[in-house]
Structure 1
Amino acid sequence: MIINSKNNPIIPKIVRSIVKAVTEDVPEYCREQGRETNNAITQMRGDCINDNLRSMVIDPGVVDFVSFRRYIWEGRLIVDRANKTSYSITTKATLRGIPKKQRTSPHFLQSILYAENGGIQAPVKQTTLFKMSAFDDESLAADFNSIVGDLINPVEGYHHFVVAYEANKVDVTSISLEYLDKDFNVVESTSLNEYIAPNFASLTEDTDNRETSVQAPETAKSFLIIKEKSIRPKLRDIPEEA
C-alpha cells in the first residue's frame, strides 16, 4: 500500500518543506534576532514547515490543508484528493513516544490512524505499545470528526501516512514515510533520504502534466557545500525539537 514516492510529486516537496525549515528558516531567524537565548523557536520549526507546505505543496481542491487545534497548539494535515491519502509530519522521537504515553484524551494521530488505517494490520505487532483500548471506538471516531470535520470521509478509502524526520540544530539527518496501523505498528516504511538534497529546480515546476526537462547543474553539490560554509555562522544553542 505504501506510495511509490518516485511517482508522487508531493513527497519530495514535503521533504523540501521540512529541509528548508530546518536548514534555512530557523537558522535565519536566529541570525536576524541575535537574542541571548532562543527558547521561542521550540515550536518555530513546525510553523516554518507549515508555511513551506502552504507555498510548495498545497493546491486547493487538489492537495488541501486540514487545520485543527489542540488547546493552544495548531496543527495541519495534508490531504491528497486524487490519491485519497493524508499526511502528517512529526519528528521520529515524537512518533515513538505517542503510543507509550498514558492519556486522558486521544492524541490526534491516534484518532486519525483509527479512522483511516483501522482496516489494516501490521505483519509484526509490538505487544509493549500503549493499548488503544483505553479509548473506545466512539471516542476515537468523535475526535477524528472534530479534527477533520467534513473535509475527509474515511468511507471513501483514505489512508494516512506519517512523514517522520530526525534533525540536529541545522540539518535533517533522516526522513522516512511511515504507514502505520491503528496501534502504531509499522505496516511499511520507506526512506526518503534521497530527497534531502533534491534537484531544487524540479520542485518548482508547474503541477500540471506539461512535459518539461529541467536538470540541476553539475555544480549543484559543490554550490551547496560552498553555501553551507559561507553563510552558516556558528549559532547560539538551538533547542532540539521534541
Structure 2
Amino acid sequence: MDGIHINENLMRRIVRSIDKAIADDIPQYLREHYKETNNAIIQLRGDYINENLRNLVVGGDIEFVPFKRYVWQGRIIVDRAEKITYTITTQKTLRAVPRKQRDKPHFLQTLLYIENGGYEAPVKQMTLMDLFPFEAEALENDYNSIVEGLIDPAEGYRHYVIAYDAEGSELRDVQLEFLDKDFNIIETASLNEYIKPDFARLTDVEPVDEDFNDETDGEAKGLVTIKSGLRPKLRDVQKQA
C-alpha cells in the first residue's frame, strides 16, 4: 500500500482541532489576557492545538505519544488500527526543516527516516540533507528516545505530516503529506473540505469517547500574526441571532 490513506473521521477532527485553536482559542485568550506585548503567543498555538486534539481526537485506537525536545513538548498522533503516525506543523516550518543545518536531527527527519525509509517519492530533489546526512545509528537512537518504546516501527508504521497555513485568525490551507525520508512528496491530499465555514463555528464538535474506533480509517514552529476577536462573518451572525 504505497498510496496515501485517509481516515475521514479522524482528519475532520484533527482539522477542527487546528481550526479551533487558530480561530477561536487564541483570539479569546488575547481578549481575556491582553498585555502590552504578547511574546508567549509563539508557543500558545501549539498548546491549544494539542489540548484540542486531546479532547476531540484521542480515544479508542487513536493515541498520543508525548515527546520532548529540550524544554519544548510535542505530541505524535498514533492510529493503532491503521499503523499510521501523524504530526502537525506549519507548511513554512515543514519546508524549512530539511534546509537547516543542525547538530541533532529534527524530530521530523528522524520519524521520516525510520517509518518512511522504505518508500521513495517518484520525483526526487537534491536538498542540503544530501550534503550532510545523519548517520543511521544516530537516527535510530533518536527515534528510540522520542517514542520510548510506545511505537514499534517493525509493525509497519508510516508517518504522515499534517501541514497547515494560517493568516491572522483564519486557517487557510491544510494538507496531508506522505513524504519520503528526504522530505520529497510521495503523495499529498487536501484537507480543506474539513475547515468549517464561519457560520458553522456556532455548532461545536463533541469530544470523543472511548469508543472512537468505528471509522476506517514541534522544535521549530512557524508564527503568523494573530488578530484579536472573532472573524467578521461570525460577528455578523451573532448580531443577527
Q: TM-score, normalised by structure 2?
A: 0.83
| Pairs within 5 Å for 1:65-76 | 65-76=64-75
Closer, same or farther in 2 for the Cα pair 1:228/1:96, shift >3 Å? Answer: farther
Size of the aligned set, in residue pairs, is 216
Q: Given the alignment, which residue of 230, 234, 239 partners 1:227?
A: 234
Closer, same or farther in 2 for the Cα pair 1:32/1:225, shift >3 Å? Answer: closer
In the alignment, which residue of structure 2 is the partner of 1:139?
138
In the alignment, which residue of structure 1 is the partner of 2:224?
none
Extract unaligned runs of 5+ from structure 2. Answer: 216-230
CA distance in 2 between partners of 1:140 and 1:153 (Å): 15
| 1:4 Cα deviation after fit | 4.3
In the alignment, which residue of structure 2 is the partner of 1:120?
119
Extract unaligned runs of 5+ from structure 1. Answer: 211-223, 232-242
The answer as to whether partners of 2:176 and 2:189 remain within 8 angstroms in 1 is: yes
CA distance in 2 between partners of 1:208 and 1:71 (Å): 34
CA distance in 1 between partners of 2:50 and 2:181 (Å): 25
Q: What secondary structure does 1:183 align onto?
A: coil
CA distance in 1 between partners of 2:95 and 2:213 (Å): 37
The answer as to whether partners of 2:98 and 2:128 remain within 8 angstroms in 1 is: yes
Q: What secondary structure does 2:129 align onto?
A: coil
| Deviation per residue, 1:140-183 (Å, 9 max, x gap) | 00100100011111110000000000001200111100000001
What amino acid is aligned across from residue 115 of structure 1 in structure 2? I
The answer as to whether partners of 1:64 and 1:78 remain within 8 angstroms in 2 is: yes
| 1:129 Cα deviation after fit | 4.1
**Structure showing greater relative contact order (alpha-carbon pairs closer than 8 Å, 6 or more residues apart):** 2
| 1:36 Cα deviation after fit | 1.5
Q: Please identify, of 71-80 and 198-207, the stretch whose mean Cα deviation from structure 2 is larger.
A: 198-207
What amino acid is aligned across from residue 164 of structure 2 in structure 1? Y
| 1:203 Cα deviation after fit | 4.6
Closer, same or farther in 2 for the Cα pair 1:75/1:106, shift >3 Å? Answer: same
Q: Please identify, of 201-210 and 160-169, the stretch whose mean Cα deviation from structure 2 is larger.
A: 201-210
| 1:51 Cα deviation after fit | 0.1
Q: What secondary structure does 1:173 align onto?
A: strand
| Deviation per residue, 1:185-238 (Å, 9 max, x gap) | 00001111111117776953763549xxxxxxxxxxxxx97524467xxxxxxx
| 1:8 Cα deviation after fit | 3.1
In the alignment, which residue of structure 1 is the partner of 2:42?
42
In the alignment, which residue of structure 1 is the partner of 2:10?
10
